[in-house]
Amino acid sequence: MYTSEYLIGYVNKAVREIRYPDEPDGLYEPIRYTLDGGGKRIRPVLTLAACVALGGDIDVAKNQALGIEMFHNFTLLHDDVMDKADMRRGKPTVHRRWNESTAILSGDAMLTMASQLVGRCDVAKMGEVMMLFNRTAMEVYEGQQYDMDFEKRPDVSVNEYIEMIRLKTSVLLGCACEMGAIMAGGDGCERSLFYEFGLKMGLAFQLQDDYLDTYGDPAVFGKRIGGDILNDKKTWLLISALAEDDSGRLLDLVGSNIAPEDKIAGVTGIYNELNLGQRCHDIIDRYAEEAIDTVKKIGLDEDALAFFVNIVNESRCRTR
């Protein structure tokens, strides 16, 4: 089995080697800018790792890994327009650096390029691969729509929230894993266990994201702590707190325009009284354990199994 670092390096090299037409530069330059921007490359690494773990050659899943990374970056690009976000991975977002039309059109091109990459495989596999990819894409859009709908709803439940992050984030990790399994020629059982593994890992991953935004160490987190609180973002923490805090203090803080430090301190204080930091981490651990239990059922060799157990443990223990 390859190491995580090797696979990340493999993905970065493959990303750099993507060839774009020279013209029109206004269409292709923002795509290069977005994809070269880095990120954890977790999805393509999962695709390659699942393929190799089932005995496939790493190169066999290269285009699918790239296609999924391209799709992921397309969603970030369009989400940033919808969220009016200014920065991404320490650089101005495409719609700030260029303009909104550029962000929309280059994103569209990325979606089509993702589809081209994913479908670049044996004819015998093309049907399954495209069906999985397109179904996943539709689910990701549905998740983004629910996320936007939730902003306007005061009564979102924890279950609805989990379903939203399942769609918006987790299914793409499930798809990334299953895609690797398909490319390796895995059977139906291996494919669905890998999908399930990615899904559970994705839930743990997204909840960890929410957790770190409030409880991360400012020195290593890379973003300002408390951003979600300042934006009244409906995370697991806020939704749980809204359901449990009957003092009315939280409702007063949400949507208020008091000084940022006071708002962060006030909301975090209520989270602490309800022990939500610990409870959030318990749920993360539960999903992580479920992911590990699932991957154990596939019957991988020791080396490959250790890779996936490690990637889950690193993910749940990450600090940024």
Spatial separation of the C-alpha atoms in residues 185 and 200, rounded to whole Å: 23
Indicate whether 274 belongs to the interface with a copy of itself (CB under 8 A).
no
Indicate whether 107 belongs to the interface with a copy of itself (CB under 8 A).
yes
Indicate whether 100 belongs to the interface with a copy of itself (CB under 8 A).
yes
- Contacts with a copy of itself by CB under 8 A: the residue count is 36
Specify the residue, 33 or 141, whose C-beta has the smaller distance to a copy of itself. Answer: 141
Least distance (Å) from a copy of itself to the CB of residue 116?
Answer: 5
Indicate whether 109 belongs to the interface with a copy of itself (CB under 8 A).
yes
Least distance (Å) from a copy of itself to the CB of residue 150?
Answer: 10
Indicate whether 126 belongs to the interface with a copy of itself (CB under 8 A).
yes
Specify the residue, 182 or 312, whose C-beta has the smaller distance to a copy of itself. Answer: 182
Q: Which helix (H) or strand (E) holds 87?
A: strand 87-88
**Residue type for position 70:** M
Q: Which helix (H) or strand (E) holds 143?
A: helix 123-151
Q: Please pick, from the candidates 10, 146, 205, 236, the single residue that binds a copy of itself as defined by CB under 8 A.
A: 146
Q: Please pick, from the candidates 3, 40, 112, 269, the single residue that binds a copy of itself as defined by CB under 8 A.
A: 112
Contact 150, 23 (CB under 8 A): no
Contact 54, 308 (CB under 8 A): no
Least distance (Å) from a copy of itself to the CB of residue 21?
Answer: 8
> Which residues from 27-66 bind a copy of itself, rule CB under 8 A?
27
280's CB contacts (< 8 A; 6+ apart) are 207, 210, 211, 236, 237, 240
Bridge pairing between strands 91-92 and 87-88: antiparallel
Least distance (Å) from a copy of itself to the CB of residue 122?
Answer: 10
Q: Please pick, from the candidates 144, 169, 268, 294, the single residue that binds a copy of itself as defined by CB under 8 A.
A: 144
Least distance (Å) from a copy of itself to the CB of residue 2?
Answer: 30
Q: Please pick, from the candidates 82, 158, 258, 265, the single residue that binds a copy of itself as defined by CB under 8 A.
A: 82
Q: Please pick, from the candidates 72, 78, 200, 263, the single residue that binds a copy of itself as defined by CB under 8 A.
A: 78
Spatial separation of the C-alpha atoms in residues 300 and 306, rounded to whole Å: 9
Interior angle at CA 35, CA 33 and CA 38, nearest 5: 100
Tokens representing 218 are 């400012």
**Residue type for position 30:** P
Indicate whether 265 belongs to the interface with a copy of itself (CB under 8 A).
no
Q: Please pick, from the candidates 148, 243, 258, 265, the single residue that binds a copy of itself as defined by CB under 8 A.
A: 148
Give the CB-side neighbour count of residue 297, counting CA atoms within 13 A: 15
Least distance (Å) from a copy of itself to the CB of residue 231?
Answer: 15
Rounded to whole angstroms, what are the CA distances from 48 to 4, 54, 130? 10, 10, 17
Q: Which helix (H) or strand (E) holds 92?
A: strand 91-92
Instruction: Name beta bridge partners: 87.
Output: 92
The residue ranges that bind a copy of itself (CB under 8 A) are: 21, 23-24, 26-27, 78, 81-82, 100-101, 104-105, 107-109, 111-113, 115-116, 119, 123-124, 126-127, 130, 134, 137-138, 141-142, 144-146, 148-149
